[in-house]
Amino acid sequence: MISQIPTVCVGAVSLEIAIEVIGWTRARPTGQLIRGIIDRRTYRRREGGLGKASTYLSADGRTLATVGRRSYATISVLSGREFEKSRLLLSQANEFDEWSGLKWRADDDLFVTNLGQVLRLRNNGKNQTLVLADPKGLIFNPSPCGTNYVVLRWGLHGGTNAINVWRTNADGSSPVKLTSGRDDSTPVCSPDQNWVYYTSSVDNHISRVPLDGSGKSETIGGFPQGYSYTGGLDISPDGKTLAVGIENPVRKEEVVKIALFELGSSSPPRMLNANHYTGSGLQFTLAEKCVAYVSRDNGVDNVWVQPLDGSASHPITDFKSEKIWGFSLSPDGKSLAVLRGHYDSDVVLLQELKP
């Protein structure tokens, strides 16, 4: 049964957007000629769109159903004593999603990623420059190291199945692979730019590697027993403390924790609660007295700060809708860049053309 179906056309192909689809079966080759053109920039395929499958075929073999999903995103800069002033830098459809991110550069511009690209976005929002691209790979978590370098998470590069930490020049040139694990994540530079710290999602530990690529990785600490990495890693401005988001996958009712590792100490990390943490990054505030993170309540995201003394956390933004896909405090701590967005999902039907 198909109900409430508006119809649009792309060339000679009829695309019907169904609000409700019941009784479809998983698509299999049938010999029927199903012709369709879907602009990949407009519709993105999603596994699990209808039940556990993304593509379904009608009983008569003449209509194919799939799920199209559009993303809508904005990048804004908040300023003022309580970040009450907002300035829109970018509003774009189907370019960024929950895998995207952003980070302030040392020169007051922003690094922005959309999986296969790293872009430089001017602080005035009027100019985007391509820094790095890999159409067959995945690029996440760019983090500047002073004015000369950037470290990032680069996956499937050169046909590999691993995700590793790489270093490039600030303009994206001269890439150097720094790690060789299976899933190395969330690299950050030490303030003295000697080390790159990162997490391993496979081994649940934190490691470091020389920024200049002159040495091998070394493990500096493991997560408490029963805990695993859930997202985010940052180093304090004085270079003495690492903050990382962890959770206990067995005790789902327990809130996510921010684990504070004191570098140079063998003591276990100090644990702070991070209520409703989404995993979308952690960042020390400039004064080092708080860690900022994204909290989700009733489907709406805001940036919260958790004081290091364990006192109650509180929000520093007051958004009423949408998800936060990335955020970054400026180097001087006076501005907050936020990447926010949402999805619109449609069921797309492709019908056999009648002669």
What per-residue confidence (pLDDT) applies to 68?
72
Residue 33: C-alpha distances to residues 36, 37, 234 (Å): 10, 13, 53
Q: Does the residue 161 lie in any domain? A: yes
192 in the same domain as 104:
yes
How far is residue 196 from each of residues 158, 166, 188, measured CA to CA in Å?
Answer: 22, 10, 6
Q: Are residues 104 and 165 in the same domain?
A: yes
Contact 142, 150 (CB under 8 A): yes
Q: Which of 220, 244, 270 is the last residue of a domain?
A: 220
> Does residue 254 fall inside a structural domain?
no
| pLDDT tens per residue, range 121-152 | 998 887 889 999 999 999 999 999 999 999 99
Beta-sheet strand order (sheet of 256-262): 228-235, 241-247, 256-262, 270-274
Quick one: DSSP state of residue 146?
T
Q: How far apart are CA 119 and CA 102, in angstroms?
A: 9
Within a domain: residue 108? yes
Clarify whether residues 63 and 110 are in a common domain.
no
| Residues of the chain with confidence (pLDDT) below 50 | 1-53
According to the model, what pLDDT value does residue 94 have? Answer: 83
Asked if residue 103 and residue 216 are part of one domain, the reply reads yes
Residue 27 lies in a domain: yes
104 and 210 share a domain? Answer: yes
- What local confidence, expressed as pLDDT, does residue 144 receive? 95
Query: Is 15 a domain residue?
Result: yes
- What total number of domains does the chain contain? 2
Could you tell me if 64 and 154 lie in one domain?
Answer: no
Residues 156 and 52 in one domain: no
pLDDT, residue 15, reads 33
pLDDT in tens, 167-186: 999 999 999 999 999 999 99
The span from the CA of 257 to the CA of 244, in Å, is 8
Query: How does pLDDT run across 281-326, given as a tens digit for each residue?
Result: 999 998 779 999 999 999 999 999 999 999 999 999 999 999 999 9
pLDDT for the residue 54: 57
- What pLDDT does 253 receive? 62
Residue 151 domain-assigned (yes or no):
yes
215 and 115 within one domain: yes
Of 220, 244, 267, which one is at a domain's C-terminal end? 220
Predicted pLDDT at 28: 35
Domain range for 36: 2-69+345-351
